[in-house]
Amino acid sequence: MSLFNFLVALSGLSFLSYGITYFMSNKMKLEFSRFGLAKFGTLVATLEILGAIGLFVGYFAKPIFLLSAGGLSLLMLLGVITRLKIRDDLVQIIPAFFFMILNGYLFFTGL
């Protein structure tokens, strides 16, 4: 398995599991309330699931891959901004920052 394929799988599985967990865990819903974004939780989780699926489908359709990787990177940029706005500490910001960079890398490598 190439490094690129490993990173696609890492990102896809991470977003798929996080998105699904939102629908199964009250803890995730409480996090969105803490962010002041409770009404957007379902939308964000759905976009994460669709983005993850798009990364995998993107093996066969490059435009879908690029849309998914770029969309997930943008979603995580908004996550970083949100966490900075509510003054989370660095440890809480790092995962969103990591996945923003990872999906940005996947997007630009996929071009």
pTM of structure = 0.96
Express each pLDDT in 65-97 by its tens digit: 999 999 999 999 999 999 999 999 999 999 999
Q: Quote the distance between the C-alpha of residue 88 and its chain's center.
A: 18
User: CA gyration radius for the chain?
Assistant: 14
**Which one-letter DSSP state was computed for residue 105?**
H
pLDDT given at position 98: 98
Higher pLDDT, 23 or 1: 23
Tens-digit pLDDT profile for residues 11-64: 999 999 999 999 999 999 999 999 999 999 999 999 999 999 999 999 999 999
Q: Where are the domains of the chain?
A: 3-110
Return the H-helix or E-strand segment holding 79: helix 62-85
| Spatial contact of 11 and 52, defined as CB atoms under 8 Å apart | yes
- In the prediction, which pLDDT does 11 show? 98
